[in-house]
Amino acid sequence: MRILVLGGDGYLGWPTALHLSARGHDVGLVDNFARRGYDSELGATSLVPIATLGERLAAWHRESGRLVVPYIGDLCDPAFTHDVVATFAPDAIVHFAEQRSAPYSMIDQAHAVYTQTNNVVGTLNVLYAIAEVNPGIHLVKLGSMGEYGTPDIDIEEGWLEVTHNGRTDRMLYPKRPGSFYHLSKVHDSHNIEFACRAWGLAATDLNQGIVYGQETDETRLHPDLATRFDYDAVFGTVLNRLVVQAVSDHPLTVYGSGRQTRGLLDIRDTVECIRIACEHPASPGEFRVFNQFTEEFTVRAIAEKIRDAAGGDVTIATVDNPRVEADAHYYHAAHSGLVELGLEPHLLSDTLVDSLLAIARQHRDNADPSLFDPSVRWRATSSPVGPNAVELVA
């Protein structure tokens, strides 16, 4: 297949492009380097050094003998988006190219507006490019389990059958997201479903849980193929952040009670889920939804697993929760679709010691402990959360 990966220079887009290329697909990637720009803005960087895109592509060609074709530009430019889709002529488009941090979207009005404009407008331009160039292109869009929120009923895979006043209908599962970032993902889902219904497009929405890990079979081949390892309080996922704290002799900071439940998956399962979705496309007119995670843990349980695996004098500390979310909640989400298509999940126990902790120890001198503390509050307050806090102005 010919597969175009949008956001192909990012944390997940880059290893996905390599994984698809290694499986024999012709791969192109699109990026505007916005993610690298967020590092400059926030004074943060990946724990594991990452090469330039040119160095990455050259290393992949040397190691695999295969080419990945780069296109540099912004999806918010409709002409660029149309031209890339027309030029590369993909069978499938994998869409990672969005601002992906909930805290970043909650810094202030400007960051909220940027997040929603970048994410929603970019996706709309992709939908129009597909409709105009080739409606048969299968769109694989990365959503988020955070779109659902934490309802007091079971979470289904995208759709819900509802009976009301004696009549039954199938409708999109109601969403109650917890940040302006997650709201942008909900808007994307609704726009994509409408395009499938109105224009006959085919799309798979992958509502992804928290991804952990930094290594895939392909990124291990050469240091220049490494992907990001974000650990800061804005872009670092909870598990990666706690792992770096554990090797830095810093208490593992748990927000609130730590009884919030999260769905997680290994980065190797992320790239494999995308391959499976591309190779088993949705039908024309179908908006297909998979919940993409393999295990569920409370945040406190994650911290305890890391503490026990790290050994030594690692401790767990509770800090005020900067987010607006339930302290504890019911959480039961269906996630069988990808397994039925062939996913063989890795477990946290397979990765934590030999990969996550080992990599964090190898690069711990690159860690900046001042980036650990939460720096953005969901509610306006007169006292910032930490030394790098940014006030949210109501």
Per domain, the residue ranges of the chain are 2-371
The three-class DSSP label of residue 228 is: coil
Residue 389, pLDDT score: 39
More confident residue, 311 or 315: 315
* 8 Å CB contact between 293 and 265: yes
Distinct helix (H) and strand (E) counts, the chain: 14, 14
Alpha-carbon distance of 94 to 18, in angstroms, equals 13
In CATH, the number for domain 2-371 is: 3.40.50.720
pLDDT at 110 over 80: yes
Torsional sign, CA 103, 104, 108, 109: negative
Closest among 49, 33, 30 to 41, alpha carbons compared: 33
**Average confidence score pLDDT of the chain:** 95
pLDDT at 386 over 60: no
Backbone φ, ψ for residue 85 (5° rounding): -65, -40
Residue identified by tokens 């779109």 is 147
Q: Which helix or strand (DSSP H or E) is residue 185 part of?
A: helix 180-199
Q: What percent of the chain has pLDDT over 70?
A: 96
The three-class DSSP label of residue 252 is: strand
pLDDT at 9 over 90: yes
pTM: 0.95
Residue 393, pLDDT score: 31
Do the strands 261-266 and 210-212 form a parallel or antiparallel pair, or are they unpaired?
parallel
In angstroms, how far is CA 281 from the centroid of its own chain?
21
pLDDT tens-digit map of 172-202:
999 999 999 999 999 999 999 999 999 999 9
pLDDT tens-digit map of 126-152:
999 999 999 999 999 999 999 999 999
Confidence label for 226 from pLDDT (cuts 50, 70 and 90): very high
Q: What single-letter DSSP state applies at residue 165?
A: T
The three-class DSSP label of residue 94 is: strand
Confidence label for 330 from pLDDT (cuts 50, 70 and 90): very high
Torsional sign, CA 143, 275, 128, 34: positive
The whole-number average pLDDT for the span 275-289 is 98
